[in-house]
């Protein structure tokens, strides 16, 4: 191939690739996807093995440090995180400033951005100890912030973290528990959520991760970079799709469960209606994460007593779509978000919390990418453009316009 820089100046040629369909923005050793074959691996480990055998804590360690932890490393990592779950008391008051009906995503991203104001001793991207401290702080505090965003939305009191619990248990207790009352932990519920977090933990250069890297490329600190990623995740074409899928299923249910006419609307592109939770930039085959969630959904719903009717509608939509030319020709398959919503709902989460759960899962991936970015001398991200505006024009005075 051509050695750029040897034969060509980078300013001589500009590649035009809207949406970065074919442009690699970086090298990375974290996650491998083969979209045609439907393969996803974290640090070489297939996603189905990690989902079945691992834990979210282990996977977080794997993504961030590159290897599965030994028992001692895992214990040290987990203990460090336990010591950082509290939020500064002043930061807790931050939540009072939001309206009660605020969507929890901007609350989450604002509070995470605010961490860079409260924890100024861990902002230097070139100080290894500070990077490590901000990593642990983020992993520990995001579940607390996420639970408080929920508590704020339902007008209930905040709970302090209970550090005898693991990260997922702690999050569930702070979300659904009440101060000074015991919270009954259902181990199957904990395990199901843990598995869903594993499935969301990384997905190479998606929109939010690319945002984290781009913000980080200006040497912005980890908290602020992750906050940027959370805002990117909120959009319905990305992480916001899990909320959009459930709203779509509920609407189809309310309209009498007519799957065929919904599919027809999608195919005719009526009012821009899409089959949410379908399609993916990289997967032109079944998203391996969606296959795992689909398999788990029925069992989880049976145990948690969820609404099987929405799952039935989702299954009918999938069946219908996978045999329809529109979807077949465009290679549109269910993505990770298609079946997660019905599970989150059965767990008792309001629809607006779904994307927050995605953010909790994606956090170790964002951190791993931000850290990987700084493993080499950072080149600031600065895309070029094709200018389509006016050529030079002379200024006209206000009186002459
Ligand atoms: N429903 C109906 N048609 C679709 C869908 C869908 N969900 N997704 C893609 N298409 C159609 C497009 O309209 C386009 O058709 P055309 O050739 O007639 O114009 C064709 O398939 C190609 O789609 P693009 O939008 O060009 O594909 P792109 O790679 O840019 O977009 C995306 C991928 C954003 C995920 C898209 O498939 C989509 O909007 N899906 C629904 C939202 C969703 O589920 N997002 C979650 C993605 S996974 C994640 O972030 C966790």
The tens digit of pLDDT for each residue in 59-78 reads 999 999 999 999 999 999 99
Range with the poorest average pLDDT among 221-230, 292-301, 355-364 = 292-301
The runs of H, that is alpha helices, within 66-205 are: 71-82, 89-93, 104-118, 128-154, 167-176, 187-200
Where b means 16+ CB within 10 Å and e means fewer, 129-165 reads ebbebbbbbbbbbbbbbbbbbbbbbeeeeebebeeeb
Q: Residue 379 pLDDT more than 50? A: yes
Measuring from atom 32 of ligand 1, which residue has the nearest CA?
Answer: 280
Nearest-10 Cα torsion for 323, 329, 333, 338: -80
**Tell me, what's the pLDDT at 360?**
98
Neighbours of 258 (CB within 10 A): 12
**Catalytic residue check, 124:** no
333 CA distance to ligand 1 centroid (A)? 10
Does residue 193 surpass a pLDDT of 90?
A: yes
Locate tokens 């195919």: which residue? 267
**Contacting residues for 75 by C-beta, under 8 A, at least 6 apart:** none
The answer to whether the complex's ipTM is over 0.95 is yes
pLDDT number for residue 365 = 98
* Nearest residue to 212 (alpha-carbon basis) of 197, 226, 201: 226
Contacts of 193 (CB under 8 A, 6+ apart): 168, 172, 347, 357
Q: Which of 280, 287, 298, 369 is catalytic?
A: 280
Ligand 1, atom 16, residue with closest C-alpha: 330
Q: Is 60 exceeded by the pLDDT of residue 8?
A: no
Residue nearest ligand 1's atom 35 by CA: 280
Q: For residue 26, which of 378, 275, 387, 335 has the smallest C-alpha distance?
A: 378
Indicate whether 2 pLDDT > 70.
Answer: no
pLDDT band at 6 (very low <50, low <70, confident <90, very high): low
Does residue 376 surpass a pLDDT of 50? yes
Atom of ligand 1 nearest to the CA of 206: 50
Summarize pLDDT for 273-314 with one digit per residue, the tens.
999 999 999 999 999 999 999 998 888 888 877 667 898 999
Q: What is the pLDDT of residue 1?
A: 43
Q: Is 337 a catalytic residue?
A: yes
Tell me the CA–centroid distance for residue 259 and ligand 1, in Å: 19
pLDDT at 306 (0 to 100):
66
Q: Does position 103 have pLDDT exceeding 60, yes or no?
A: yes
Is the pLDDT reported for residue 30 higher than 60?
A: yes
| pLDDT range class, residue 9, cuts 50, 70, 90 | low
Residue 12, pLDDT above cutoff 80: no
Could you tell me how many residues make up the chain? 401
| Ligand 1 atom 14 nearest Cα | 330
Helix (H, G, I), strand (E, B) or coil at 21: coil
pLDDT for the residue numbered 4: 52
Comparison of pLDDT for 393 and 306, the residue scoring more = 393
What lines the ligand 1 site, CB under 6 Å? Answer: 19, 206, 237-239, 241, 266, 274-281, 330, 332, 335-337
* 108 burial via Cβ count (<10 Å: 0-12, 13-18, 19+): buried
Q: Which two tokens stand for residue 329?
A: 């020709």
- Judged against a pLDDT cut of 50, whether residue 207 lies above it is answered with yes
Q: How many CB atoms lie within 10 A of CB 197?
A: 25
Confidence of residue 150 (pLDDT cuts 50, 70, 90): very high
Residue 314 parent element (H or E) = helix 308-322
Residues sharing a CB contact under 8 Å with residue 66, sequence separation 6 or more, in sequence order:
29, 43
Q: Work out the average pLDDT over 15-29.
A: 95
Q: pLDDT of 83-101, one tens digit each?
A: 999 999 999 999 999 998 9
Among protein residues, the one with the nearest Cα to ligand 1's atom 47 is 238
Asked if 46 contacts 40 with a C-beta cutoff of 8 angstroms, the reply is yes
What's the rounded Cα separation, in Å, for the pair 359 and 153? 18
Ligand 1 atom nearest 330 alpha carbon: 21
Listed range (124-128, 217-221, 375-379) with the worst mean pLDDT: 375-379
Q: How far is the CA of 111 from the centre of ligand 1 (A)?
A: 31
**What percentage of the chain exceeds 70 in pLDDT?**
97
At residue 30, the 3 state secondary structure works out as coil
- Best of 211, 249, 279, 331 for a ligand 1 pocket test (most atoms within 8 Å of beta carbon): 279
- C-alpha 286, offset from chain centre: 19
Q: Provide the angle, in degrees to the nearest 10, between the axes of the packed helices 207-216 and 354-373.
A: 40
- φ/ψ of 34, rounded to 5, equals -115, 100
The closest-lying atom of ligand 1 relative to the alpha carbon of residue 335 is: 48
CA distance 289 to 266: 24
Q: What's the pLDDT at 13?
A: 83
Residue 48 pLDDT > 90? yes
């Amino acid at each position: 191939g051509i050695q750029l820089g040897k034969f060509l100046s980078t300013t001589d040629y500009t590649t035009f690739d809207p949406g970065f369909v074919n442009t690699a923005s970086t090298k990375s050793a974290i996650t491998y996807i083969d979209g045609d074959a439907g393969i996803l691996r974290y640090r070489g480990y297939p996603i189905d093995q990690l989902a079945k055998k691992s834990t979210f804590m282990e996977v977080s360690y794997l993504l961030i440090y590159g290897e599965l932890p030994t028992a001692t490393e895992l214990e040290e990592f987990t203990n460090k995180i336990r010591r950082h779950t509290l939020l500064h008391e002043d930061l807790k008051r931050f939540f009072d400033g939001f309206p009660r009906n605020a969507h929890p995503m901007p609350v989450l991203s604002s509070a995470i951005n605010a961490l860079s104001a409260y924890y100024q001793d861990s902002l230097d991207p070139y100080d290894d100890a500070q990077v490590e401290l901000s990593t642990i702080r983020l992993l520990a505090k995001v579940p607390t912030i996420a639970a408080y965003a929920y508590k704020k939305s339902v007008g209930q009191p905040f709970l302090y973290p209970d550090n005898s619990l693991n990260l997922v248990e702690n999050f569930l207790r702070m979300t659904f528990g009440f101060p000074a009352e015991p919270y009954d932990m259902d181990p199957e519920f904990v395990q199901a959520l843990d598995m869903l977090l594993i499935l969301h933990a990384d997905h190479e250069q998606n929109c939010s991760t690319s945002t984290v890297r781009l913000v980080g490329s200006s040497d912005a600190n980890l908290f602020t970079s992750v906050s940027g990623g959370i805002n990117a995740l909120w959009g319905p074409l990305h992480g916001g799709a899990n909320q959009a899928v459930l709203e779509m299923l509920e609407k189809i249910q309310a309209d009498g469960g007519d799957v065929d006419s919904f599919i027809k609307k999608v195919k005719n592109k009526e009012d821009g209606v899409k089959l949410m939770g379908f399609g993916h930039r990289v997967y032109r085959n079944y998203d391996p994460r969606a296959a795992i969630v689909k398999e788990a959904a029925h069992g989880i719903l049976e145990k948690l007593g969820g609404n099987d009717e929405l799952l039935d509608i989702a299954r009918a939509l999938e069946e219908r779509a996978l045999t329809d030319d529109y979807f077949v020709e465009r290679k549109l398959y269910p993505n990770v978000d298609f079946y997660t919503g019905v599970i989150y709902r059965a767990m008792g989460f309001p629809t607006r919390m779904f994307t927050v759960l995605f953010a909790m899962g994606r956090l170790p991936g964002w951190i791993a990418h931000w850290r990987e970015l700084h493993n080499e001398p950072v080149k600031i991200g600065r895309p070029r453009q094709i200018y389509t505006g006016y050529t030079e024009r002379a200024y006209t005075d206000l009186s002459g316009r």
